[in-house]
Structure 1
Amino acid sequence: MVMSTAVQTERKVFYPDSDGQPMADNTIQFECIVTIKGNLELLFADHPDVFVAGDLLWYPVEGNAEIRQAPDVMVAFGRPKGHRRSYKQWEEGNIPPQVVFEVWSPGDRVSQMLDKLAFYDRYGVEEYYLYYPESGEWDGWTRQEGRLTPISQMEGWRSPRLGIRFEKGKDAEVGLFYPDGRKFLSFLELGQLAEAEHQRAERLAAKLREMGIDPNQI
């Protein structure tokens, strides 16, 4: 008797790189996202095991591409830097993003934001922050006894994971500060600051040359 062997092939699950939604609904929301992500990348530039991303799809459950969320900004400690098409948690040491940020836009519905809060609560986020550009206010939640719990006072709050301080913002000025007290700057402001430093260095080099000193030898 010849026995037929049934070969089971594992169903291949496709994990899209995009949810089809725009990154931002308006210029203020976009600038807020870029400012938060960019400054967090600068804050952890010397930490190879801190991954910062913006609008990246996070899949917490292997085998189910429908369970997903794309935080405006997320930070994962214990994961290496580098480009990713999406954040598949089972390929990331089963480490969820510990900190996520969302920026409210006029197109957001309350039910939609409640769904996001429930998602972040269920899948292990430790800190969740929501910024309202029109009012400059922040809402925040931290994980206490296994659940995301509202932070009663956001002004002056310091993130346990990030060390940054929260204050009231204004439009695209998000009201965030580095651990050393420096303000989070926009991409334009950072560029202007770098240009000012470059010009200052050029003036100093010119002065040294006038004195017969080669600045490259100092």
Structure 2
Amino acid sequence: MSQSVVPAIEEKQLDTSPTLTFEEYKVYQSKDDVKYELYKGKLIPMATASALHTSICEFWVYKLQRYLAEHNLDVVVKTSVGVRTEDATSRIPDVVVCTESLWQQALARPGSGILDFDETPLLVIEVVSQDRRADYITKRVEYELANVPEYVIVDPAQNRQRVRVAAFPEGEESYAQVDYLPGEEMVSVVFPNLRLSVSEILCPPLVEGLIKEEQARLQELGQQAATERQRAERLAARLRELGVDPDSV
């Protein structure tokens, strides 16, 4: 009796998904509400972020916005913004920092919010997800070739926790990297006065709580200022009672 034989090696499936140019990708409209990156002409779906992933990104945005405002820099912090890295490749970093003028250029044109070749961001941040190779190797090469001055990788995975900062040393054309571990303080290369606790980055406090603390401090300072004004007014009134012009004292 004859028997059918199952091939030992399965036939390799052909990739039949459409190939897009960068111009086509800019106007591409997904029908499934999924965000896609473009990698060598192919659409790469982005997985829904975990709660921790989201909190880390929100913490970065909060800290960077406060830093930029404190130093009066014409720089913006954005999420869900694309960065073109090759002819038919465009990434969507978790956080993008660019000049205000570049962002105004992006606002002025139709289509997806993507920074093109001549619109290099100052800093991109990726929180490591399931595809570790993409964040550590593939995207690092792309951002380096696209001349992004600083690429920060946040890895919250147990037993691998670190913040890696890759940037161009002065006069060099290749990234050098520094790993910062829990308990240490990471230092940005592009913003050297920006120092953040690695432990806080990996397990950040809720931004809503930080804003409440910020408002509480402002209210306390306002109350202190009001108390000082009242004290000064009482002193001025007493001096007038004694026939002394407080403005002459």
Name the TM tier (shorter chain): 0.5 to 0.7
Partner Cα distance (2:123, 2:68) in 1: 13
The two structures have a TM-score, normalised by structure 2, of 0.59
Q: Please, what TM-score do these two structures have when normalized by structure 1?
A: 0.67
Within the alignment, does 1:168 sit opposite 2:198 as a pair?
yes
The offset of 1:87, in angstroms, is 2.4
In the alignment, structure 1 segments of 5+ residues that lack a partner are 1-11, 174-184, 214-218
Percent identity, aligned pairs only, is: 16
CA distance in 1, matches of 2:73, 2:132: 36
Which residue number in structure 1 is paired with residue 153 of structure 2?
130
**Compared CA separation, residues 204 and 140, structure 1 to 2 (3 A):** closer
Contact 2:165 2:188 in 1 (8 A): no
- 1:69 and 1:25, CA in 2 relative to 1: closer, same or farther beyond 3 A? same
Specify every segment of 5 or more residues in structure 2 that has no aligned partner in the other structure, as ranges: 1-22, 30-34, 37-44, 234-249
Q: Which has the larger radius of gyration?
A: 2
Contact 1:139 1:151 in 2 (8 A): yes
Tell me whether 1:143 sits opposite 2:165 in the alignment: no
Matched, 1:34 2:58: yes
Q: Pick from 69, 78, 85: which aligns with 1:53?
A: 78
Q: 1:142–1:200: structure 2 CA closer, same or farther, 3 Å change rule?
A: same
Q: Larger relative contact order (C-alpha < 8 A, sep ≥ 6)?
A: 1
Provide Cα deviations, 1:88-107, integer angstroms capped at 9, x if missing partner: 325xxx131121111123xx
Deviation at 1:51? 2.7
Distance 1:203 1:76, change over 3 A: closer
Following superposition, the deviation at residue 13 of structure 1 comes to: 3.8
Question: Is the alpha carbon distance of 1:202 and 1:156 closer, same or farther for their aligned partners in structure 2, counting shifts above 3 Å?
Answer: closer
For the aligned residues, what is the CA RMSD?
Answer: 3.4
Equivalent of 2:114 in 68, 87, 98? 87
1:68 to partner: Cα distance:
0.1
Seen in structure 2, the aligned counterparts of structure 1 residues 125 and 202 have a Cα distance that, compared at 3 Å, is closer
Q: Greater helix share, 1 or 2?
A: 2
Residue in structure 2 matched with residue 115 of structure 1 by the alignment = 138
1:198 to 1:87, Cα distance in 2 relative to 1, 3 A:
same
Cα distance per residue 1:60-85 (max 9 Å; x no partner): 56xx5x41001111212473555744
Please give the alpha-carbon distance, in whole angstroms, between the structure 2 residues aligned to 1:198 and 1:168.
27
One-letter amino acid matched to 1:35:
F
> Would the alpha carbon gap of residues 122 and 205 (structure 1) be closer, same or farther in structure 2, given more than 3 Å must change?
closer
